[in-house]
Amino acid sequence: MANSLVIGLRILFAALGCVMVFTLTYTLSTDGLPFRKDLLTPWMVATLVDFYINVVPLAVWISYKESNWISATLWVILLACLGSITTCAYILLQFMKLSTQESQDPMYYVLLRHSNKYDMENKNKLSPVWIARVLFSALGLLMLGTLLYTLLTDGTPFRTELLTPWMTATLIDFYINVVALSVWVAYKESSWITAVLWIIFLICFGSITTCIYIVRQLQRLASQDPIYLVLLKGGSRKQM
């Protein structure tokens, strides 16, 4: 079962990465570069804000996973520039690194960095849990404000003229990152019903749901707990 999960997730993220590479290449060849003022409609701006708020937790996770700050910085820059192509490449790389023994509990070993000796030795020291709570609360409010402002000033987003080639590419990019976050949510939730509900909210409300979910998970940690525990489901945290 665990091996099937690993193979399935490898195939999923390899396929999603290829889809995004094709989408980016096709859009560049048919609609030119995205660095044009005419593309920055209010809803495109709102979509980009939504996209980059979802990038933040992925960037934080990558920074935690990488023991070398140089490699962490390079990955985060690639994530900011190439979006879900980098997300898929990084996640696929983590699954490819799993040993046979680690494949028995793949999500645990993919989410955590290979050596947690430093973390375990310092688990009683002050942790940045409260900083993360404030950060993701602020990001959630920022996206909520952006959404309400754009609705009030530019109307509904369900208009055909808004669906330009670059808006379509951005939405594909956005939802591939949502898939990555949804895999984490599905792993975290003990009930498939609550997992499905959270994933539906992620699809409908984007980074607002991401921020709410992360803050909700952070509230379950004590302020002195190591922040990486938020990555794990309850059973794995108790085991550690």
- For the segment 181-216, what is each residue's pLDDT rounded down to a tens digit? 999 999 999 999 999 999 999 999 999 999 999 999
3-state secondary structure of 128: coil
pLDDT above 70 coverage of the chain, percent: 92
Token representation of residue 180: 């990555």
Q: What is the pTM assigned to this prediction? A: 0.91
The residues, ordered by sequence, that sit 6+ positions from 72 with a Cβ below 8 Å of its Cβ are 62, 63, 65, 66
Q: Per-residue pLDDT for 133 more than 90?
A: yes
Token representation of residue 100: 């046979």
Q: Per-residue pLDDT for 1 more than 80?
A: no
3-state secondary structure of 174: helix
Q: What is the pLDDT of residue 236?
A: 58
What amino acid is encoded at 156 in this protein? Answer: T
